[in-house]
Structure 1
Amino acid sequence: MSKRKICVVITARPSYSRIKTALTAIKEHPHLELQLVIAGSALLDRYGNAADFIIRDGFEINEKVFMVLEGENPTAMAKTTGLGVMELANVFYNLQPDAVITIADRFETIATSIAASYQNIPLVHIQGGEVTGSIDEKVRHANTKLADLHLVASEEARERVIRLGEDPEYVINTGCPSIDLAEQIKNENLSFDPVEKYGGVGAKISPKGNYIVVMQHPVTNEYAKAKEDVEKTLEVVDESGLPTFWFWPNVDSGADGTSKGIRTFRELQNPNNIRFFKNMEPLDFLRLLNNSAALIGNSSVGIRECGYLGVPVVNIGSRQHNRQRGHNVIDVPYEKEAIAAALHKAVQGGRKKRANHFGDGHAGVKIAEILATIPLRYHKTITY
């Protein structure tokens, strides 16, 4: 029996943690062959080159696709997506996979979906059916309509994909692979010094005692406000005096504004409680979160992994609008007073009850088994 060739395309830093345990399970499955393609901002040092961590974890990269145009604005996003379609079409033509996996909702993922589906290659969409804000939700649902197999992360998402007209037999709730990683480290203390291990820039802070983590990205349909938005968070965090590990934003439209806001604040104010990082190994990042007093920003890690771990989260703005969440999340607008009050409440309130919306910690193995056994097909039956 020949192995099924499963091509996984990772286009950005956060996508690796969203698929890592599934990569391992596919690689180890006797009836599957992993083909790994790294593309987009996952290859760029300024956004924390994910390829370095992927290789270090023992995965072989079959192809690299450089496709990101400078600009971090809507036009650059559109052109990057177009380049991605052209380059990935060649990659799939050469690799001849039996199925292609596209992950979640980042704008580059639609390039993967188009390049695969237009070549009649069965498309597997991981984490469809969720709602958020901005262009991400449109991309997620567009991926859903191009995909043939849907491996969703929650029952709510499964029901939504079925309502979109997809065949229920091919919409399966596996949970999210990122929860597998959270399950692995849920009882671990922080056993490393982030500054010593990863460097970063800014103040020399210690992870001992109460510290917080910040991960704030631009919102693509509010990209003109990115600099103003991040400045408010910076001011609140600086005034709090809490040791803070702050992570660089994604390459979305508006990232230049967020980055400029961080650099300007760092140079002019020289905060003595903030250390800035580009990236960390997925498990180390979760260990840092798990032992923190709170996460601040607008990342989905606050909804998924922090919900599973019970870490308090101050979620700012509309980026995670309408997404299913646990009791660990405090939602606030981009207003200094509201952010400061929520931060105080989160730090003082302590750990929250764990939420299991996005799986039980075994998603990777489930995904591999489904890929090995389900009939992979391109032409699907759609009912409306």
Structure 2
Amino acid sequence: MSRRIAVFTGTRADYGLLRGLIRELADAPDVELQLIVSGSHLSDAHGRTVQEIERDGVPIAASVPIWRDDDSAPAATRDVGDAVGRYGATLDTLSPDALVVLGDRLEALAVALAATILGIPVAHVHGGEVTEGALDESLRHAITKLSYLHFTSTASHRDRVVQLGEEPDRVFFVGAPIVDAVASLDILSRDELRDRFGIRLARPTILVTFHPASADVLPPLELLEELLGALEAVTTHDVIVTGSNTDIGSNAVRERIARFVAEHPDRVDFVESFGQLGYLSAMSASAVVVGNSSSTVLEAPVIGVPSVLVGDRQRGRPLAASVATPAPGREAIATAIREARRVDGGATELFGTPGFAKRTAEILRTHDLPRYPRKPFHDVPLRSSD
């Protein structure tokens, strides 16, 4: 008897990380894959990245639009509330045996909540991590408590999920999905990148991604100004900027980035969405990765490209030696960019070995998946204070 496994994707980033698992489940003879596509995938302003999924030939079981144009916090609460209902209707129709969710975004929280209400076991990827400078920190831990199975990227993240009260036999250290992606990467050449995306890559290049984070060390636009000031100061490098996520406050960030790109047509290119292959290829061809995206602490170290992490959005994640964390001022950021040096090998030891997709798919295929799962709270003995 086959299992129906639903996989949820709401952004270009989580689809790139889940692609290997999606393929593994699609190829399994005892699994019926149900892919649910939502969030910025369906937004024209963010590149309508559902087209990347369609090009991969993966059947889409449901497309669920949730975001409107208003990026304010009150609007986000309304959109998320509506999303729970829309996801609930979709899941009720599909009736999967489990739902796979990755990460820490509002879309992921909404779909995990809908599944929990319907009694569908949630399988959470990348739980137990810390990002102190972002709202995502709270969302991730909330999704952990809504989830029945847990697939963590490091052993310490597994320990943290257990610390949150999850039973150890439902928490698995399977490594980071990005390690799989890099291990199987057939990167595009510089000429292919130039032809496909219209970028120059003639000089050393800085690859930049910046997302607004309300809990960061500075307000998002102030931190962005410091980053842009640093990029202006490093005149020896060209710059490629990628599009921001659909986060609270993203419209103002995107408008400021658009002005910066227009002001520097001689050395700054903009690509809304590369897709995973294009993004990792562009990263491999770059001298340094800069910004506050998780790719500065995951993808870049695994590939072996130095990175400069701006602000506190990723504070608390394990950092490879190749990740610089300057003070949030333009001079310090510019210095870190100038001093970045290519790294031999890559930091795969931080995030496990290739095989995330196979290990995770096997657990999803064989582990007990009770409808309306019961989760006893697993108490971790506390150390007595001195």
Equivalent residue, structure 2, for 1:202: none
TM-score by length of 2: 0.92
What is the CA distance between 1:233 and its match in structure 2? 1.8
- Per-residue CA deviation, residues 202-255 of structure 1 (Å, 9 max, x unaligned), is xxx522442120011111335993233223222322332312111011111121
Gap regions ≥5 residues in structure 2: 380-386
Contact 1:238 1:271 (C-alpha < 8 Å) held by counterparts: no
What is the CA distance between 1:380 and its match in structure 2? 2.4
Cα distance in 1 for partners of 2:5, 2:360 equals: 11
State the secondary structure of the residue aligned to 2:286: coil
Cα distance in 2 for partners of 1:360, 1:189 equals: 23
The alpha-carbon distance between structure 1 residues 56 and 97, as it changes in their structure 2 partners (threshold 3 A), is same
Contact 1:13 1:48 (C-alpha < 8 Å) held by counterparts: no
Equivalent residue, structure 2, for 1:243: 238
Contact 2:215 2:313 (C-alpha < 8 Å) held by counterparts: no
Contact 2:12 2:275 (C-alpha < 8 Å) held by counterparts: no
TM-score by length of 1: 0.93
Equivalent residue, structure 2, for 1:272: 266
Equivalent residue, structure 1, for 2:321: 327
State the secondary structure of the residue aligned to 2:319: coil
The alpha-carbon distance between structure 1 residues 10 and 73, as it changes in their structure 2 partners (threshold 3 A), is same
What is the CA distance between 1:195 and its match in structure 2? 4.2
Equivalent residue, structure 1, for 2:383: none
Contact 2:41 2:47 (C-alpha < 8 Å) held by counterparts: yes
The alpha-carbon distance between structure 1 residues 210 and 264, as it changes in their structure 2 partners (threshold 3 A), is closer
Contact 2:261 2:270 (C-alpha < 8 Å) held by counterparts: no
Contact 1:151 1:367 (C-alpha < 8 Å) held by counterparts: yes
Tell me whether 1:363 sits opposite 2:362 in the alignment: no
Matches within 5 A, 1:225-374: 225-241=219-235, 242-267=237-262, 269-346=263-340, 349-352=341-344, 354-355=346-347, 356-374=349-367
Matches within 5 A, 1:125-144: 125-133=124-132, 134-144=134-144
Contact 1:224 1:254 (C-alpha < 8 Å) held by counterparts: no
Cα distance in 1 for partners of 2:59, 2:300 equals: 30
State the secondary structure of the residue aligned to 1:125: strand
Cα distance in 2 for partners of 1:271, 1:344 equals: 21
Equivalent residue, structure 2, for 1:50: 49
Cα distance in 2 for partners of 1:237, 1:9 equals: 36
User: Identity of counterpart residues, as a percentage?
Assistant: 30
What is the CA distance between 1:99 and its match in structure 2? 0.5
RMSD: 1.8
Amino acid paired to 1:328? S
Amino acid paired to 2:47? G
Amino acid paired to 2:346? R
State the secondary structure of the residue aligned to 2:45: helix
What is the CA distance between 1:45 and its match in structure 2? 2.0
Gap regions ≥5 residues in structure 1: 200-204
The alpha-carbon distance between structure 1 residues 263 and 208, as it changes in their structure 2 partners (threshold 3 A), is closer
Contact 2:179 2:353 (C-alpha < 8 Å) held by counterparts: yes
The alpha-carbon distance between structure 1 residues 179 and 80, as it changes in their structure 2 partners (threshold 3 A), is farther
The alpha-carbon distance between structure 1 residues 223 and 217, as it changes in their structure 2 partners (threshold 3 A), is farther
